[in-house]
Amino acid sequence: MSPRAHLWTASALLAAAVLLRAFPFVWWPGTHFDSDQAVVGLMAKHIGEGRAWPLFYYGQHYMLGVEAYLAAPVMWVAGPTVTALKAPLVLVNITAVLVLLRLLVRDARLPPWAALVAALPLALPSAVMAARTTEANGGNVEPWLYVLLLWGLRERPFAFGTLLGAAMLHREFTAYGAAALLVMDALAWPGGAAWRTYAAARLQHWAIAGVAWVATRAIASSLQPFASAFGPGTRGDDPALLLAAVDTIGGRLCFAPETWTARATLLVTDHLPRIVGGVGAPIRDYGVLSGVFSGQPGLGIWVAALTGAGLASGAWHWWTHRAALRSGPRPHLGGYLVLVGLISTAVYGFATCSDIRVETLRYNLLGVMIPVGALTMAMQTWPQPAVRAGFGAAVALWCALNTSDVVALTREYHRARQPEDQRQAVADALVARGIVSAQAPFRTAYHVTFLAQERVRVAATDVSRIHAYTVEVGRALGPTIADGACPGGEPLPSGQFLCRHAQTDADNR
């Protein structure tokens, strides 16, 4: 079989692996869906209907509406469903994995089957990562693709800067790719008189990239006033909306050295093992509607050993070939991936205001690049078939254990024993009662609205994302979906109560 045929075979296997682990989260709407994702779904529905043209996620001045625009044509054809919303994310996942495979073959110079082994943790991650990377909440999986594309464009500064500018507007975590390349430039600094030529070349490179980055953000700023900031009928330059807009990127950075010891302990003992499938927990803890238990205690140690072996291999290879590596043009893709993962983990662990917990795990999805980069180093260092086969078997066991959780989830749903989707039941109950507008907390409002396909429009009482719903419920004096009982309230399938306007006023007092 020719090398090209091997590459096509490896590509097909990795694409099939992605489809397998994404299937339950995409095919069954109630598996993993919430109001954050529902807002993206409503954005896509509005785009497909020509009612709104958002630039960013509704109610924010960051996180480009890329996922909504990807889903809009799918929804236009298939209807506004959760499956239609998430289907484009599967293609993004597949694209990221196949781009990685191609880079491993081209830049790391690995044979396709060895490249497949290094890429497998991205194709078959832990169940929690599988859920998060098919979560349509604005930009979870895209940074995987962006950092890989940045590597591919690293010697084309204008294209690099343009992508970096747009990608950072979508998800700021993409900046870790640029930071990793800057570190690599610093590590490659030559000695002797050559440093002047090297410094001039790199300064010119980053200056061009910086100009492109600024230009891209300037274009976005010029479009923002004309975009639909809070849904249909709104604009980005409305002063009232600008005052209400949420823009908290700058407020997410915190430096508290006194907490670093505790946070480092959490990173090592909980967070990093959790993202590779090494912490046993009910998958419901990750927002997945299921009774399956996910994760394998002890698997974190297995992955740590694999990663350590890969890093040690890379260090040994660099030390024994340092003269040739310094003078040659061969790129260090494995080192880049490790740096991206380390920078992401360091920022999440020590420079953000958010706590290290399950709910914020999505802020460090790039952390999985650490073992991927380490495996790349191992495959480069040891060309012997027996050694590569050993690493391949170890990786296959890791990924098989992760996949077993997804298979268990699929089996549970296939046997029709899945827990009832209470938000769908609420949406159906409101439609059956003829209610067209209501209000509820954010976690209920847009979730129910999307599942009802806007036959019921529920405004959020706390974090408003769609201005028209708020206006409508105020004009119609619509009922409130309340968490607690209210006098004369009608019980809903979710355990909540439907409170009429007069009852709601009394309840609020």
Under DSSP, is residue 491 helix (H, G, I), strand (E, B) or coil?
strand
Could you tell me if 78 and 46 lie in one domain?
yes
Per residue in 448-468, pLDDT (tens digit) is 999 999 999 999 998 889 999
Could you tell me if 404 and 450 lie in one domain?
no
Q: In this predicted structure, what is the pLDDT of residue 14?
A: 97
* Confidence band of 503 (pLDDT split at 50, 70, 90): very low
pTM (predicted TM-score): 0.93
- Check residue 269 and report its DSSP letter: I
CA distances, 65 to each of 59, 71, 148, 429 (Å)? 11, 10, 21, 31
Could you tell me if 10 and 58 lie in one domain?
yes
Amino acid at 164: L
Residue for token pair 């095919």 = 27
- At 490, phi and psi to the nearest 5? -95, 125
CA 414 centroid distance within chain: 26
Could you tell me if 496 and 391 lie in one domain?
no
Amino acid at 295: G
Token representation of residue 297: 């205690």
- CA 395 – CA 386 distance, rounded (Å): 14
Could you tell me if 214 and 266 lie in one domain?
yes
Q: Which domain holds residue 463?
A: 422-508
- CA 334 – CA 118 distance, rounded (Å): 10
Per residue in 59-116, pLDDT (tens digit) is 888 899 999 999 999 999 999 999 999 999 999 999 999 999 999 999 999 999 999 9
Least confident of 140-144, 182-186, 236-240: 236-240
For residues 281, 401, 18, 336, the Cα torsion angle rounded to the nearest 10 degrees is: 90
Choosing from 414, 432, 449, the residue where a domain stops is 414
Could you tell me if 152 and 14 lie in one domain?
yes
Choosing from 369, 391, 414, the residue where a domain stops is 414
Rg of the chain over Cα atoms, rounded to whole angstroms, equals: 24
Could you tell me if 366 and 431 lie in one domain?
no
Any bridge partners for residue 497, and if so which?
A: 482, 491
Could you tell me if 279 and 378 lie in one domain?
yes
The answer to whether the beta carbons of residues 134 and 30 sit under 8 Å apart is no
Could you tell me if 11 and 132 lie in one domain?
yes
The answer to whether the beta carbons of residues 447 and 35 sit under 8 Å apart is yes
Could you tell me if 65 and 174 lie in one domain?
yes
Could you tell me if 469 and 357 lie in one domain?
no
| Total count of domains within the chain | 2
Could you tell me if 74 and 219 lie in one domain?
yes
What is the mean pLDDT of the segment spanning 12-24?
96
Token representation of residue 54: 């958002």
* Confidence band of 505 (pLDDT split at 50, 70, 90): very low
- Check residue 362 and report its DSSP letter: G
DSSP state letters, 60-101:
BSSSB-HHHHHHHHHHHHH-S-HHHHHHHHHHHHHHHHHHHH
The answer to whether the beta carbons of residues 481 and 462 sit under 8 Å apart is no
Choosing from 414, 433, 458, the residue where a domain stops is 414
pLDDT at 406 over 50: yes
Name 4's Cβ contacts closer than 8 Å, sequence gap at least 6.
none
How do beta strands 437-440 and 457-460 pair? parallel
- Mean of pLDDT over the chain: 89
Under DSSP, is residue 459 helix (H, G, I), strand (E, B) or coil?
strand
- CA 334 – CA 328 distance, rounded (Å): 16
CA 210 centroid distance within chain: 25
